[in-house]
């Protein structure tokens, strides 16, 4: 959700700060280092980064050569943080006074998506490498914890999205890495991460898989997947009952669906989902107390550049005000 199409750094940061819960933007059109997979790969042994061709690959030989050096830094928080090279706004974000915000957030690409996306010297996703995969889980968990602690210094209610766009492929018969293996790895991964634990994805996985995971916040594209998601009412109820929060990604950022909607239509769309959950026995007041709003997805491909994305952020704010007024929310 933090990936933005902006090339103007100040404009992107100002937009991110316009939300109640601000974040630091990822700007891959400004620099390939800010691609979410590249950003997560910083200091990961074995990574072969080709900035000119905009490719990130993995070499097992390089992994072996660099592994000892990585282990020498394993207790150094700065080593696992995000450097200025890999984000032009992260350090600036941390320098801001964010103590008056209800919360703030950061993000890092999750291990499942990273493992599927990064290919080795044999064009095989590294998630299938039984030597690399356990290390990858621990490495990424350390990166999440370091950033989360940095954020908590700025605001005690800070949280981190573990971005997992590739998680839906686990449930494809063609994946070769099934849901049982993914569950074991994700449970191991989250057991190493400090709370709150949050997951964001734009796809449509088996929602039971995520709702039953030991996480605190689930962010999803409910604009596209709301009808399917609402069918998991039993798991949603259990998730909320144990303290979970849902971030309803209701405002599209792609130009075609955005132009078809307005605040009223998006409110109606969201309330239909809530009504469905209400008929299953989920109390609306309780649901609203554990809900946040966001754009539905990120978008880098609109022909109008940043315009629709910026308008989507404005729509999120207007929808929030309208819903707070209707339901008398603080």
pLDDT of residue 229: 96
Which pLDDT score, from 0 to 100, does residue 301 have? 93
Half-sphere exposure of residue 95, counting CA atoms within 13 Å on the CB side?
6
pLDDT of residue 16: 97
2 in any annotated domain: no
Q: What is the pLDDT of residue 1?
A: 74
CA–CA gap between residue 48 and residue 288 (Å, rounded): 45
pLDDT at residue 316 in the model: 98
* 214 within some domain: yes
What is the CA angle 321-324-326, rounded to 5? 105
- DSSP symbol at 220: E
Q: What is the pLDDT of residues 22-80, one digit of tens each?
A: 999 999 999 999 999 999 999 999 999 999 999 999 999 999 999 999 999 999 999 99
Instruction: Examine residue 316 and state whether it is found in any structural domain, yes or no.
Output: yes
DSSP state of 213: S
Strand partners, 48: 57
Cα 206 from Cα 190, distance rounded (Å): 18
d(CA 44, CA 70): 8
3-state secondary structure of 56: strand
Check: CB of residue 278 under 8 Å from CB of residue 325: no
Q: What would the pLDDT profile of 152-202 be if each residue is shown by its tens digit? A: 999 999 999 999 988 888 876 656 787 888 899 999 999 999 999 999 998
CA distance 105 to 158: 5
Instruction: Note down the domain range covering 22.
Output: 9-326
pLDDT tens per residue across span 112-147: 999 999 999 999 999 999 999 999 999 999 999 999
Burial of 47 (0-12, 13-18, 19+ CB in 10 A): buried
Tell me if 305 is assigned to some domain.
Answer: yes
CB 156 within 8 A of CB 107: no
> Does residue 1 form part of some domain?
no
Question: Is 13 within a domain?
Answer: yes
- The tokens for 220 are 């999803």
Average per-residue pLDDT in the chain?
95
Task: Report the domain count for the chain.
Answer: 1
Please report whether residue 273 resides in a domain.
yes
Q: In what order do the strands lie in the sheet with 217-221?
A: 105-109, 159-163, 197-201, 217-221, 245-251, 291-295
Whether 239 is in a domain gets the answer yes
What is residue 179's predicted lDDT score, i.e. its pLDDT? 80
Let me know: does 255 contact 314? Beta carbons within 8 Å: no
CB 239 within 8 A of CB 216: no
Q: Closest Cα to residue 26, out of 312, 299, 311?
A: 299
Residue 144 belongs to domain with CATH number: 3.20.20.210
Helix or strand (DSSP H, E) at 221: strand 217-221
Q: Could you report the per-residue pLDDT of 221-239, keeping only the tens digit for each? A: 999 999 999 999 999 999 9
Q: How far apart are CA 248 and CA 273, in angstroms?
A: 10
The whole-number pLDDT of residue 194 equals 97
Query: What local confidence, expressed as pLDDT, does residue 171 receive?
Result: 75
With beta carbons less than 8 A apart as the criterion, state whether 125 and 42 touch: no
Residues 43, 146 contacting (CB under 8 angstroms): no
């Amino acid at each position: 959700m933090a990936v933005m199409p902006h090339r103007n750094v100040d404009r992107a940061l100002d937009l991110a700060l316009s939300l109640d819960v601000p974040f630091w933007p990822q700007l891959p059109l400004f620099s390939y280092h800010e691609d979410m997979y590249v950003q997560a790969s910083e200091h990961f042994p074995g990574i072969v980064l080709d900035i000119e061709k905009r490719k990130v690959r993995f070499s097992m030989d390089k992994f072996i050569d660099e592994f000892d050096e990585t282990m020498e830094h394993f207790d150094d928080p700065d080593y696992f943080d995000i450097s200025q090279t890999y984000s032009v706004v992260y350090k600036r974000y941390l320098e801001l006074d964010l103590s008056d915000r209800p919360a703030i957030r950061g993000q890092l690409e999750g291990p499942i998506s990273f493992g599927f996306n990064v290919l080795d010297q044999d064009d095989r996703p590294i998630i299938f490498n039984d030597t690399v995969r356990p290390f990858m889980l621990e490495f990424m968990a350390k990166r999440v914890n370091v950033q989360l602690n940095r954020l908590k210094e700025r605001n005690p209610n800070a949280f981190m999205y573990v971005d997992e766009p590739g998680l839906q492929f686990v449930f494809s018969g063609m994946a070769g890495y099934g849901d049982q293996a993914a569950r074991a790895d994700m449970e191991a991964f989250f057991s190493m991460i400090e709370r709150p634990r949050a997951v964001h994805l734009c796809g449509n996985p088996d929602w039971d898989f995520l709702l039953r995971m030991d996480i605190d916040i689930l962010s999803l594209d409910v604009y596209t997947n709301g009808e399917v998601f609402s069918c998991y009412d039993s798991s949603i109820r259990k998730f909320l009952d144990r303290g979970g929060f849902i971030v309803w990604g209701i405002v599209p950022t792609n130009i075609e669906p955005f132009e078809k909607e307005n605040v009223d239509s998006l409110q109606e769309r969201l309330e239909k989902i809530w009504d469905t959950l209400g008929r299953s026995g989920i109390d609306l007041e309780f649901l609203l107390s554990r809900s946040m709003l966001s754009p539905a997805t990120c978008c880098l491909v609109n022909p109008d550049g940043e315009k629709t994305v910026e308008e989507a952020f404005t729509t999120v704010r207007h929808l929030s005000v309208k819903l707070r007024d209707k339901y008398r929310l603080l």
